[in-house]
């Protein structure tokens, strides 16, 4: 296997491990806050809702990130995965304070997930083009995707 592809797959694995560690960290934080009762009951309820939301979206995030990386571009998928982890961080920190502070992280996370989903669809579409019509646009699509992934930095 090409060494560049292996390096990019290692990026996907690293992002996956970081996301597992992030979910575990916030789950432990919520559990610790619940046991110590340092936080008001309303804040604990918000934290548990945020934890549940992240746990519900986590399998979807992993599936589309890996699909986008395998079908299209590993580097762009890994970058989008890191941006998704950043948005989850903002989402949790927002839920610890005012509920309105978490909106930015939620919307940013939706945009990253949409980008990854679009990468999956384009990668699968290109695979079908290659298989049935022998037209391969993967290089052009990867160039566009790598350029478009930097647009995720715009708030």
Q: What is the pLDDT of residues 77-106, one digit of tens each?
A: 888 988 888 888 888 777 766 666 777 888
Predicted confidence at residue 62, as pLDDT, reads 86
Predicted confidence at residue 35, as pLDDT, reads 67
Q: What is the CATH number of the domain that holds 108?
A: 1.20.120.550
51-85 per-position pLDDT tens digit = 777 777 888 888 888 888 888 888 888 889 888 88
Least confident of 35-39, 42-46, 114-118, 151-155: 35-39
Return left, alpha or beta for 37; rule: phi > 0 is left, psi -120 to 50 is alpha, else beta: left
Predicted confidence at residue 31, as pLDDT, reads 67
Structure confidence at residue 2 as a pLDDT band (50, 70, 90): low
Predicted confidence at residue 5, as pLDDT, reads 64
Predicted confidence at residue 76, as pLDDT, reads 86
Predicted confidence at residue 41, as pLDDT, reads 65
Number of folded domains that form the chain: 1
| Domain assignment of residue 131, given as a range | 3-153
Q: Is residue 142 a contact partner of residue 73, using CB atoms and an 8 Å limit?
A: yes
Radius of gyration of the chain (CA): 18
Predicted confidence at residue 124, as pLDDT, reads 86
21-48 per-position pLDDT tens digit = 777 777 677 667 666 666 566 666 777 7
Whose tokens are 């290692």? That residue is: 10
* Nearest-angstrom CA–CA distance, 69 and 60: 14
Q: Look at residue 1 and tell me whether its pLDDT is greater than 60.
A: no
């Amino acid at each position: 296997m090409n060494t560049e592809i292996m390096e990019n797959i290692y990026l996907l694995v690293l992002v996956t491990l970081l996301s597992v560690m992030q979910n575990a960290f916030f789950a432990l934080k919520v559990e610790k806050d619940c046991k110590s009762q340092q936080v008001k009951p309303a804040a604990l309820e918000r934290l548990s809702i945020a934890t549940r939301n992240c746990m519900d979206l986590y399998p979807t995030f992993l599936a589309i990130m890996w699909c986008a990386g395998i079908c299209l571009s590993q580097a762009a998928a890994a970058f989008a995965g890191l941006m998704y982890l950043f948005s989850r961080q903002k989402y949790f920190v927002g839920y610890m304070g005012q509920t309105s502070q978490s909106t930015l992280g939620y919307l940013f996370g939706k945009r990253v997930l949409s980008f990854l989903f679009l990468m999956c669809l384009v990668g699968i579409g290109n695979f079908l083009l290659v298989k049935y019509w022998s037209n391969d646009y993967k290089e052009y699509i990867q160039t566009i995707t790598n350029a478009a992934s930097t647009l995720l930095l715009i708030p």
